[in-house]
Structure formats: structure tokens, C-alpha cells
Amino acid sequence: MTSILVIAEQRAGVLSPASFEAVAAAQKLAAELQAELDIGLIGDDLTAAAEELSAVRARRLCLVSDAELEPYRAETYRVAAQALVDELEPQLVLFPHTYTVRDYVPRLAAGYQRILVNDCIGYRQDDGQTVFVRQLFRSKLNADVRLTGSSPHFISFQPGAFRPEEVERGSNSAPNESVDVSFDASRFPTRSETPGQEETGGVDLTKAEIIVSVGRGIGEEENIALAEKLAQALKAELGSSRPLVDMGWMPKARQVGSSGSVVSPKLYVALGISGASQHMIGARGATTLVAINTDEKAPIFAHADYGIVGDVMELIPALIEVVQGS
């Protein structure tokens, strides 16, 4: 019988939201392939995270726990993940596509003469084979990846590709297991420093009910003040696409997207944002999305509930007037 292993990720005992998305993907795939699903977890003190994962439907939860695994190091994580793979012998090993995964999993895969099929946005069954889909050329093309050669195969899923609330709850059909691992720490040259904490200035876009978000279509840094006025009128937080952050026009804490915040406001107003997949990963949880863009073919309109083709510099003052008059 096919078996699938999904390796969840925790930091300081807290599971990442992307882990639950990967678990949702793994449960769906396991049901389609009639495969057994095991969940793996790596770290030092795993009590809280393990308890949370025990409430997720799977065959069993397998823990690799050792003081050497805190703080994170690519070498120790690779050894721990390899112990899981060798013990469970899965055909597919699934991961959330996090910074940690892109650091240590390519080395893990290389040890099995395999690659990491990374950052997949989904999969489908085609003629009895699972085809994984990943994006190329800045999301302009979708590539189908068919797995050939012997297992295990290693796949990571893009944050936002699956929804954490789709995780099926239930108890494990087999008892939790501890997988032993021994480390020769002298073989590991790297030492981790305390992870840096991004300065947020008290901004938490994930809690905002309304977000007015600016993109490159705003044209000039000075024009952001106009968008800010609209945000104030709507009692909204100001968000941003990544290029404005990269140019230093907006603080990082206001970036929405795969490398920023994943938000779920009731209303998201996208001003001059094209709708690249990395931005939409962050914005597509909005209940209602309004987009203003001069290009009627801009991808954002495929996601928008309300779309206005027009110049933001003309439309923002008109919107402010309407909101203030209402």
C-alpha cells in the first residue's frame, strides 16, 4: 500500500499555519490514492505541538525529538528527517514550502538521489498518475511534474495552495511513535543565531477587517498619502505589494503576500496591484476584493468581486468623497 509522510514544522513549539495546509493536502492525496498517512514532527520540546497534531486524522504521529534539534540547523534537521523517511519508508514525503524546508530538504532529497519538487500549487490525478503543478517564469506558466524513478519523492506546497481549515480532525489509527536519531554534533559546522524578529511597529494586518493595499500602479511614493486618506476614511489598515516594500516606500510589516502577511479581511481594496500569484496568496482570503487597475487584462480582475478599470489617481479621490459622504 502507498504511504505518505507529511513533515510538519514548528518553531518554539508552535506549528506554522503552512504545516496545516500541507497536512490538508496530504490528507486529500492520501484519500485519493487510498494511502496510509503519517505525520512527522522534528524538534526538541514537542509536547504542545504533538498534542495539537494528535487531533488530526492520520495513521500515526512520529516524533523525532532531541536537544540537538533546537535551534534549527539544516544538518541536524536533515538527519532527523532522514531517520523518519528510513523508518516509515513512504513513497511521498510532503512539506510546507517554508524557508526552513527550502534550506534542508534539497540536501535530504539529494541523499536519496532525488530532487525536491518545490513550491507546488496543487496536483491532479491523470491517467492513474499524480501530476504535481508548479509555477515557472514568475507565475506566467504552470508546469506539470510527473514523478519517475524509485521512491521516496519529495514535494513541497506553496503557502496558500491549500486551506488549513480543510484539515480533517480525528484520532490516529495507530499509537504515536518516537523515532530515535543519533547526532555526531562535531560533524555539523554551522551554528544558529537567535532568529531575528521583524520590526512591525504594532501593525498586524492579519487582524484587520478592512485593508486598502497599494501596488506599483500608485506611481510615486508621494501618492501613497492619497491611499492612506482612503484607508482612514474606511477605517482600514494600509497594505502593500512587495515592490513598494523593496523600494523602501512601505514598511515590510505592511506587505501582503507569500513573503508578507496572509490576510483575511472582510474588504480588500487593491489599488494598482497586478495580482501576481505571490500577492494573491496573501490576499485571496478576503471576503470581498475590490480592484482598481488601468489594465482590463490584469490578473487581479480574475480574483476581484468588484473591478474598476481606471486610474487610481482619479478614482481614489472619488472613492474618498463617496465614503466621507456616506
Which residues bind to ligand FAD, rule: CB under 6 A? 138, 215-217, 219, 241-243, 255-260, 272-274, 276, 278-279, 282, 292-295, 298, 311-313
Residue 67 or 136: the one with the smaller Cβ distance to ligand FAD is: 136
Residue 125 or 294: the one with the smaller Cβ distance to ligand FAD is: 294
State the minimum distance, in angstroms, from the CB of residue 303 to ligand FAD: 12
Residue 152 or 257: the one with the smaller Cβ distance to ligand FAD is: 257
Residue 135 or 232: the one with the smaller Cβ distance to ligand FAD is: 135
For 325, residues 6+ apart whose C-beta sits below 8 A from its C-beta are: none
Q: Is 138 left (phi over 0), alpha (psi -120 to 50) or beta?
A: left
State the minimum distance, in angstroms, from the CB of residue 296 to ligand FAD: 9
Residue 10 or 213: the one with the smaller Cβ distance to ligand FAD is: 213
State the minimum distance, in angstroms, from the CB of residue 312 to ligand FAD: 4
Number of residue whose CB is nearest ligand FAD: 257
Instruction: Select from 273, 268, 302 the least CA-distant residue to 285.
Output: 268
Rounded to whole angstroms, the Cα distance separating 276 from 159 reads 14
Rounded to whole angstroms, the Cα distance separating 227 from 218 reads 9
Residue 12 or 247: the one with the smaller Cβ distance to ligand FAD is: 247
Q: Is 177 left (phi over 0), alpha (psi -120 to 50) or beta?
A: beta
Rounded to whole angstroms, the Cα distance separating 320 from 98 reads 39
| DSSP code, position 192 | P
> Could you give the residue ranges of the DSSP H alpha helices within the chain?
17-33, 47-54, 74-88, 99-111, 224-233, 242-246, 277-283, 312-325
State the minimum distance, in angstroms, from the CB of residue 251 to ligand FAD: 14
Cell of residue 148, nine digits: 519517475
Residue 65 or 258: the one with the smaller Cβ distance to ligand FAD is: 258
Report which residue type is found at 65.
Answer: S
State the minimum distance, in angstroms, from the CB of residue 294 to ligand FAD: 4
State the minimum distance, in angstroms, from the CB of residue 273 to ligand FAD: 4
Residue 96 or 260: the one with the smaller Cβ distance to ligand FAD is: 260
Given a contact cutoff of 8 angstroms between Cβ atoms, the answer to whether 25 and 94 are in contact is yes
Residue whose C-alpha cell reads 479581511 in the numeric block = 265
SS (H, E, C) 201-233: CCCCHHHCCEEEEECHHHCCHHHHHHHHHHHHH
Given a contact cutoff of 8 angstroms between Cβ atoms, the answer to whether 304 and 287 are in contact is no
Residue 58 or 273: the one with the smaller Cβ distance to ligand FAD is: 273
State the minimum distance, in angstroms, from the CB of residue 243 to ligand FAD: 5
State the minimum distance, in angstroms, from the CB of residue 128 to ligand FAD: 33
Strand partners, 74: none
Q: How many CB atoms lie within 10 A of CB 176?
A: 14
State the minimum distance, in angstroms, from the CB of residue 150 to ligand FAD: 31
Cα–Cα–Cα angle for 229, 212, 225, rounded to 5 degrees:
30
